[in-house]
Amino acid sequence: MTIRSIPAGALVKVDGDEIGYTPVSVDFTYYATREITLTKDGYETQTVMQKVKTPWYQVFPLDAVSDNLLPFEVTNRHEFTYQLQPKVVVPTEELLNRGNMLRSDTQIGQ
């Protein structure tokens, strides 16, 4: 499985395990929905539940033939590319105004 990001250089975690920086490839032994998290300074952290589909030759009973009787090894590759979004920096003044509004809202509720 190869994971890419635009821009490149994002830290990738698959199911919580760090596997490296994009572009990065990792072997896998089962097909399932995998949690992929990409993190890069200046960009929003992106977490995706990515389905890795089972190919037709790995479905029972065909998997017995493809795994044991083929005279060559079958390799299944998956590539996923994710577009990272720039992190939105909230100006300090706006952040303080939001905090003050929340504080006044809670005091009104007392």
Q: Do β-strands 46-51 and 33-39 pair in parallel, antiparallel, or remain unpaired?
A: antiparallel
Q: Is the pLDDT of residue 62 over 80?
A: no
What's the pTM value of the predicted model, to 2 decimals?
0.71
pLDDT of residue 61: 78
Q: What is the DSSP letter of 86?
A: B
Q: Are 52 and 1 in contact (CB under 8 A)?
A: yes
| Number of Cβ atoms within 10 Å of the Cβ of 17 | 8
What is the rounded average pLDDT for all residues in the chain?
88
